[in-house]
Amino acid sequence: MSAINLDHIDRRILDILQSEPGINATAIGERIGLSQSACWRRIQSLREQGVIRERSVRLDREKVGLNTMVFAHVKLTSHGRSNLTDFSAAVESFPEVLDCYVLLGNVDYLLRIVTEDIKAYERFFFEKLSQLPGIQEVNSSIVLAETKHTSVLPLAAAS
């Protein structure tokens, strides 16, 4: 997948949308010197091109009772394409898994998992994750404190 050619106006729109997802085209246009309709057309174009994937609300996981975050490094027994595909599809069905990355190196996957507590992670591990076929090894790291978490891309650095 190749990068989309973005001009400085597109980048400014995206930067504002990342930091204020609920803002409307009128307010964005006022900030960057575009009419509401011109700004709206650019936003629609960015959506159609797949640059803007979704609008999201960020919840505080601890306030909703998900107090434990775990990073699990998963090593598979075999590296065939079907094993990777099967594992990815299985993990996609687990709501506890927020992120799943295929890695190069000594492990095959990195999972970010949230649960209510350590006991809930233990149940998830034994009843779901470790039951998947093809797993050779799982190393889990419990997060003690989150010092930075963002989904805001550094657009200024990419231009």
Predicted pLDDT of residue 56: 74
Secondary structure in 3-state letters for 76-110: ECCCCHHHHHHHHHHHHCCCCEEEEEECCCCCCEE
**Domains, the chain:** 8-48 (1.10.10.10), 68-142 (3.30.70.920)
Q: What is the pTM of this model?
A: 0.80
Nearest CA-CA partner of 91 in 134, 44, 54: 134
The two three-digit tokens of residue 7, written as one number: 């001009």
Contact assessment for residue 31 and residue 16, using Cβ atoms and an 8 Å cutoff: yes
Per-residue pLDDT of 71-124, as tens digits, reads: 999 999 986 666 788 899 999 999 999 999 999 999 999 999 999 999 999 999
Rounded Cα distance, 114 and 68, in Å: 6
